[in-house]
Structures are given as C-alpha cells and as structure tokens.
Amino acid sequence: MALRFAVTAGVTFLAWVVAAVLSQSMGDAMTLSASVWLATGVTFGALLAVRPPKRPAVLTGAALAAIVLALLDGLAVLPAVAFGLNEALCAALGAWVARLLRSTGPEGSLEPGKAYAGVLLGALLTSALGASIGVMTWSWALPEPVAIMVEWRVWTCTTFVGILLIAPLITSFAGFKVKRSGGMASSQFLAGAGTFLLFFVVAALIFSADVSDRFSASLGPTLTYLPLPFMVVTAILWKERGATVATLIGALALIAWTNAGGGPFAEIEGFPGEAVIEVQGYVAVMALLVGVVNALGATAAQALAQAQDWRTRYRQVLDSNRTVVANFDARTGAAEWGEGASELLRTNASVLLTVQDLIAHADPQEQPALQADWRDLTQGQRDHILWKNTLRWSDGRVANVDARLSSVRGADGQVEQVAALLQVEA
C-alpha cells in the first residue's frame, strides 16, 4: 500500500515538474506568471483519472512539487508551503466539482456532454480560487509591490487554459492499451495527419512572424482564426486521444510564436502583456472547440454502441424464440423483413415483396380467409389478427408459422402499417 502511494506521488511529482518547467519556458516578462500554466492541469487531470484511493497520493505529489518549485524560485519555506497547499486544495475542489457532473446514464455509462461541462466548471473554480490565494500569498511573501489585478487575471487565464489542454489529455489516455488490431484506420489517420499539417502551415504563416508584413496591414489581422477549422477537422478525424495531443502541440506552438513577438496579438498591444491574454483566449477557444467536438463525437459513438448492443440483444431474443419481424404497408402491402427472416422461413424473404406474396404460399383453401383478415385489419375493423398456417415454397420446403399481425395507426387515426411477429416451428 505504501509502495503504491509512493509510486503515484512520485509519478505525479515528476509530471508536475516537467509541466511546470515547460510552462516557465514560455514565461511572460511583463507579469510573474507563465503564458500558460500546465502543471495544475496535471493535478486536475490525474484526480479525474485515478481511483479514489490514489487521490491523496496525487495531491501529495503535486503539493510537494509546488513547494519545491517555490523554494527554487527563492521563496521562504512558509510561503512555499502555502503555494503547495494552494495547489492541492484548489485542484481537489475543482476536480470534485467536475466529478459531480460526470454523471452516469441509466445503464451506468458516462455522459460525455455533462462530463466536459464538469471539466469546464471545475477548471474555472480551480483557476479563480488558486489565483485569489496565490496573489494574496505573493503580496505577503514578496518585498516589492504586486499588481494584484493583473497577476490575478493572468494566473486565472493561464491556469484555466492549462487545465483545458492537459486534463482531457490525461483522462483520454487513462485507460489506454496498445492493441495489435482494431483502432483507427490508416486512411483516417493519414487524413487527420494531413489536416493537422495544414493547421501548422496556416498557423505558422499567421503567427510565426509579423502578419501585417506578410499579408498587409488590412488583410493580415483578419486571418487570425483561419487555422481553427483545420484543428476542428483534425479532432473529428483523430477522435479524443489524437485530438487532445494535437491541441496541446498546436497551443504550445501558438503561445511560443506569440511570446517571440510574432502573430497578430503581439503586433498591436494596447498595454504590456496584452498579447499574452489574447493568445490565451485564442488557445482557450481552440481547446473549447475541440472539447465540444470530442464530447459530441463521444455521445454519438456511445449512442451507436448502445443501439448496436440493443440490436444484438433484440436479435438474440427473436432468434432464440424462432421469431421473424416484418412490417407491411397498409395501403400497398409492401413488406419489410427483419434480420434472419430468410433463415427462419427457409426461403429467400427478399422475394416476398408484399403480404400478398406471403398469403399466396399458404394453403389455397385458407387464402380467402387470410385476405379477409388483412382487409379487416387495414380498414381498422380489427386491431389484431392471428394466423396459423403452413407456408409451402417452390423448392418443396415448408414453414409452419404462427403469426400475430397488429395495426399501427397514424396521427389521423388511420391504419398506416401493420406490424407482424411470425413464430416459425422448428
């Protein structure tokens, strides 16, 4: 038990430090914050991905990493401990809110839309609360005055964006296992790689240098959001795991280019540090678009899987009872046969185009009664009819069938179609 705790805390510590160093490498000289803060996203995402017994280890590893980083930055022990506790407390509260909205459906399945909404609300709580406590700690620990509102705004934005980039990445890869077969088709992967490459090419043209010099002052700034559609298409093609990786790489490139003085945000600044805030907003929009696309895609995939599961169960129940399902148009008698009809009826069901074709294979002396039953059913005189017949096919095979036909009425009360269940004797 202690070994598992130590391993989880150690992995969290190392991941947090790597994310913090990467974030600090993209720091903003105008404020005390980095342009994006990925480390809290590690804490937040890990708290969502691990099981409850491992969450204390995650919080311990993150808090220790924050304390060590604060000490290396020159803070005293007490303020450093305060920053560590701030990291653990705010991430824990935000992740708790996110888990509250990760509600499950009637069959225990995760609802992707609510889950992503929980991530957004939890990220907002973590970033705002962490910024409030952090700025107060800075004001207490640093001898020089701190621009409280500026630092609070930057801390909140950088942490919020970092969580949006890192937390979905961690949760999507939490149950990842390498498979020898299945997964994404090569054509789908190559198509996604192509759109991701287009994103990078277009983003580099706009953000890597002075966009007005490259495209003129009137056209350049209007191209700012041109790369986003390529990232959205990449997310659609690569699904959640590939999309989160692509979004993180693309966001880091955009922030690095902006910090280097390139792109439309760095070109015109109304005040020092404005480019940092604007690129954070840009990256947040991109992450939100990808997150919504992933949630919608997961919802559709979940619905399809459930439909396929119910279809399999439905087919198994019908097959076990040797039952065939059919629908007949009340006006024309046109037939629509369910799966397995040919096998159970011992004939090619596709040649039975109408209910008249079915009746034609019954015993000749019973056919007038069957025709009368059908007429009464389609005219609304009867709601249900029961047939017990022996159907004889042209190849000599027979099928003893007990059929129940029920009328289906439309909004106007008229019979529109007839639903049939045909149980075939073995």
* Tens-place pLDDT, residues 151-166: 888 889 889 999 999 9
Q: Which of 18-27, 192-201, 288-297 is least confident? A: 18-27
What is the CA angle 329-334-339, rounded to 5? 100
| Closest residue by Cα to residue 155 from 285, 43, 40 | 40
Q: Which of 68-72, 118-122, 185-189 is least confident? A: 185-189
Q: What is the pLDDT of residues 311-369, one digit of tens each?
A: 777 777 766 778 888 888 888 888 888 888 788 888 888 888 888 888 888 888 888 88
pTM score, whole prediction: 0.77
Predicted confidence at residue 218, as pLDDT, reads: 64
- The 3-class secondary structure across 2-28, one letter per residue, is HHHHHHHHHHHHHHHHHHHHHHHCCEC
Question: What are the phi and psi torsion angles at 118 (to 5°)?
Answer: -65, -40
Q: What is the mean pLDDT of residues 44-54?
A: 93
C-alpha span between 33 and 102 (Å, rounded): 31
Q: What is the pLDDT of residues 171-211, one digit of tens each?
A: 988 866 655 555 678 888 899 999 999 999 999 988 887 77
For residue 385, pLDDT over 90 is answered with no
CB 291 within 8 A of CB 119: yes
Q: The dihedral of CA 205, 206, 208, 209: what is its sign?
A: positive
Instruction: Give the model's confidence band at 105: pLDDT under 50 very low, under 70 low, under 90 confident, else very high.
Output: low
CB 379 within 8 A of CB 415: yes
CB 337 within 8 A of CB 348: no
| Closest residue by Cα to residue 226 from 258, 245, 248, 254 | 254
Q: Which residue is it, tokens 């629509």? A: 336
Q: Which of 1-5, 86-90, 252-256 is least confident? A: 1-5
Predicted confidence at residue 270, as pLDDT, reads: 59
Strand partners of residue 421: 325, 404
Q: What is the mean pLDDT of residues 292-296?
A: 90
- The region, left, alpha or beta by phi > 0 then psi within -120 to 50, assigned to residue 386 is beta
C-alpha span between 306 and 298 (Å, rounded): 12
Looking at per-residue pLDDT, the higher value among 220 and 41 belongs to: 41
Share of the chain above pLDDT 70, in %: 90
Residues 6+ apart with CB under 8 A from 88: 43, 59, 60, 62, 63, 66
